[in-house]
Amino acid sequence: MKTKERKLARVLRSQGLSLRAISAEVKCSKSTISRWISDIELTDAQIIQLKSNQDKGRAKAAKHPNSSRQKWERIRSAIRLGSKKEIPRKYSNELLKMIGAALYWAEGYKASRNEIIFANTDPSMIRLIMLFFRKICKVPESKFRGKVFIHPHLDVKQAEKYWSRISMIALKQFNKPLLAISRASKRKRDTLPMGTFSIVIGDVYTCSKIKGWIEGLSSWV
């Protein structure tokens, strides 16, 4: 038995060193070290320190260029970049019409016969649907209404200014915000600091037209 190495391993473990660190210092396998130190109990402070060091080690390893995480991130990035190039940089009216109709089909309120109501939390989606409303549906600026759904402890005015900037709907055309906390989001009150934005358009003609486009899309399947 390697008495000298065993004693050193036990001393190092008593000092709170990890199995990996002891193995490197003593020049013995981790399985052997584990047997030698199995009866040594660490203090709470030593356990916390070991956990902290392990977390830092994992974080450092994950950032290494040759780590599995970084390799897969490069693969995912390459796939995303390739897919992005498949989408034309400039839209045609025909393409925007189909995209806008599909977005409304997925996210819009379709039960009303007279009103168009579209709500979302994604600013890019709001910009895209507003482009559809303006360019394809030819909705007059005066017909747009904005409304913010937000938790009451958050900054309502800031949220309204934010969504006004995103949608380019004037603040004077915003309806009274809805301040509410749903049961589902009770424990996630700050995940949406700007709340949810709703676009409302009172126009029976445009409402019917969008529904017709949706029916046209549904005929594909």
**CATH label of the domain that carries residue 150:** 3.30.1330
* Six-digit token string for 181: 């906390």
β-pairing verdict for 144-150 and 178-179: parallel
What phi, psi does 73 have (nearest 5°)? -65, -40
Whether residues 37 and 145 share a domain: the answer is no
Whether residues 60 and 104 share a domain: the answer is no
- Name the pTM for this structure: 0.68
Distance separating alpha carbons of residues 47 and 22, to the nearest angstrom: 15
Identify whether 78 is part of a domain. Answer: no
Whether residues 106 and 190 share a domain: the answer is yes
Identify whether 57 is part of a domain. Answer: yes
DSSP secondary structure code for residue 172 in this structure: G
Whether residues 205 and 103 share a domain: the answer is yes
Identify whether 65 is part of a domain. Answer: yes
Per-residue pLDDT of the chain (221 residues; tens, 9 = 90+): 578 888 888 888 888 888 888 888 888 888 888 888 888 888 888 888 888 887 776 666 666 677 777 788 888 889 999 999 999 888 899 999 999 999 999 999 999 989 999 999 999 999 999 999 999 999 999 999 999 999 988 999 999 999 999 999 999 999 999 987 655 545 555 778 999 999 999 999 999 999 999 999 999 98
Whether residues 57 and 104 share a domain: the answer is no
Whether residues 124 and 156 share a domain: the answer is yes
> E strands within 121-194?
144-150, 178-179
Whether residues 9 and 60 share a domain: the answer is yes
Residue ranges making up the domain that contains 122: 93-218
